[in-house]
Structure 1
C-alpha cells in the first residue's frame, strides 16, 4: 500500500507542471460538401501556462468516434516553429519536426508502416513557420495584413522534407460570421 502511494506521489510530482497549466478543449468537424455527412473530427486540448499557449494535443476521430491519429505540438522553444509529431495508426503515417540548436530544424516523415522513416536537418530561413506555428505567425503579422502589406514567409512541410515560400495579402475587407 505504501509503495502505491509513493508511486502515485512521484507520478504526480513528475507531472506537477501540468497541474498548474490551464487546458482548453474544442473540436472541429470535417463534413462532406453534399449532405454534410461527418467524415472526421479533430479534438484539441490546448495547454496554457501563465497566459501563454505552450502545447497542444489533437486526437483525430472517425465518424464513429474511434481515434485514428494523434498529434502533439510543443510551442515552448518557438511558437512559430514548434516541435511536433503526428502519427496515424491506420497505416503508420508519421511526420514531425524538432527545433535544434544553431538555427536548425529536423524534419521527419514516414509514408506508412512499411516505409523507412526519412529525415532532413536544415537551416531555418527568416520568417518561417511550421504546422500549428502558422497560427502564431499570422497573429504576429495580423496588423500588417490589415494595413494592406504583403507578408512573405517560408512554410516547412515535413512530408516533403523541405519548405516552401508563400506570400499573403488581404484581398478585401468584409464580415465573416458577422464579425469584421
Structure 2
C-alpha cells in the first residue's frame, strides 16, 4: 500500500499518527436496478506499530429524495470485534443499542417497528463478533483465509433475536463481485442455513471492503430488511497497514 505522510507528521512517533478511512456505499437490488440508498462511512483510529487500530465509526444512510433517514455510531474502545452500537431508523421507529461492558458482556436493547422493546445480555467470548466488527474480523484473519485459503469459525450476534449463532468465514468466488479477494460468511447451522443466505464480501488488496452482498440492516418494510449488493468507493485510506 502506498503511504503519503505530511512533513509535520514525520516528527511524531508511529503510534501517535492519526488515521481515517472514508468510504461511500451504494446499495442496489441483488438482481440489479436503481439505487436503494447510500451509506457514508467514517472510521477514525490510530496507527500502532504500523497497523491501523479503529476507535470510532459513523454511518449516515441517505436517499436522494429525502436525505438522511438512518444513522449508526460505533465505538471500538472495548473491542474491534464487538463495538458498542447506536443505530437509529426513525421512519420505522426502530432503535438498536449494543453496549459492550468491559468486553465481558453485551447488553442489547432493540425497539422494534411494532413498538415492542426486547432486551438481552450475552456473555462475551474471544470468537464473538458483533455488527461491523465482522470487517475487522476479516482483516485479523487475513493471512489464514485470504492468503492461505483456509476457513475460520466464529459466532455472530443476532441482536434482534437476542442471541448469537455459529458462522464460518471462508474463501469464495462470486461472478457478481469484481474484487481482488472474495470471502463468504455462512452459518454453520443446517436449520438456520435454510433461513439465512450467506453474506459475500469483496476486498481490495489493501484489505478495504469493496462489496457487500446480502441482508442489510435497512428496512424495506416493517417485516423485512433489504437484501442488497452494496458497492463501496474508497475516499480516504489510513497512513498504515490494515492487515497483519
**Shorter-chain-normalised TM-score: which range?**
0.7 to 0.9
- Identify, as 1 or 2, the structure richer in helix: 1
Structure 2 Cα separation of the partners of residues 33 and 171 of structure 1? 17
User: CA RMSD for the aligned pairs?
Assistant: 2.6
- Please, which runs of 5 or more residues in structure 1 have no aligned partner? 1-19
Distance 2:30 2:151 in 1: 32
Structure 1 33/100 Cα, relative in aligned 2: closer, same or farther at 3 Å?
closer
The structure in which a higher percent of residues are strand is 2
Task: Establish whether residue 37 from structure 1 lines up as the match of residue 38 from structure 2.
Answer: no
Q: Which runs of 5+ in 2 are unaligned?
A: 1-16, 182-244
Deviates more, 1:78-87 or 1:57-66: 57-66
Higher relative contact order (CA 8 A, sep 6+): 2
3-state DSSP of counterpart to 1:109: strand
Does the residue aligned with 1:138 lie in a helix, a strand or coil?
A: helix
**Which secondary structure does the structure 1 equivalent of 2:60 belong to?**
strand
Written as runs of structure 1 = structure 2, the 5 A alignment for 1:48-127 is 48-50=45-47, 51-64=52-65, 66-101=67-102, 103-112=104-113, 115-127=115-127
TM-score (normalizing by structure 1): 0.76
Q: TM-score, normalised by structure 2?
A: 0.58
Deviation at 1:43, TM superposition (A): 0.9
- 1:53 and 1:126, CA in 2 relative to 1: closer, same or farther beyond 3 A? closer
User: Partner residue of 1:130?
Assistant: 130
1:179–1:138: structure 2 CA closer, same or farther, 3 Å change rule?
Answer: closer
* Count of residues in correspondence between the two structures: 159
SS in structure 2 at match of 1:90: helix
